[in-house]
Amino acid sequence: MSFCTVVNCMDGRVQLPVITYLQGRFDAEHVDSVTAAGPNLILARRAEPGLVASILRRVTLSVERHGSVGIALVGHHDCAGNPAPEGKQREHIVAGVELLRGRFPGLPVIGLWVDESWTVREVATGSERNESPALVGGD
């Protein structure tokens, strides 16, 4: 049995497209979901340490107990938790991916954008590095 992990928005519209994408991307049978409203913003800003710690604790559980083979962070169109435009949300995704890569250095960590037609696109691959893992503000 193989697992991967997604830090996804709680918005039900993005769940199935992201799960389907990740099953193929990581060749995983199961996708452990850690959800929050606008998780890319939460991890990029790091302004709410309790929420960040909660997300990281749940990802750690997936990695340690289920042997997750990869991690993804998701942002999406029409997000209530992160209403920033796409370009700014992509910046949040990259900053959040850097945080996750620092915490889970042995695993590929990718960033995903889900557009207005619910198509999943990879915006941060498992191998690239951001030059500056600085915190990213809101809009």
Q: What is the mean pLDDT of the chain?
A: 91
pLDDT of residue 123: 95
Q: Percent of the chain having pLDDT more than 70?
A: 90
Residue 4, strand partner residues: 31
Second CATH level (architecture) for the domain 3-124: 3-Layer(aba) Sandwich (3.40)
Mean pLDDT over 2-19 rounds to 98
**Higher pLDDT pick, 1 / 5:** 5
pLDDT of residue 126: 65
**Per-residue pLDDT tens over the stretch 33-56:** 999 999 999 999 999 999 999 999
**Per-residue pLDDT tens over the stretch 53-82:** 999 999 999 999 999 999 999 999 999 999
Model pTM score: 0.90
pLDDT of residue 112: 98
Give the integer Cα–Cα distance in Å for 67 and 50.
25
**Long-range pairs of 47-56 with CB within 8 A, sequence gap ≥ 24:** 52/99, 55/7, 56/103
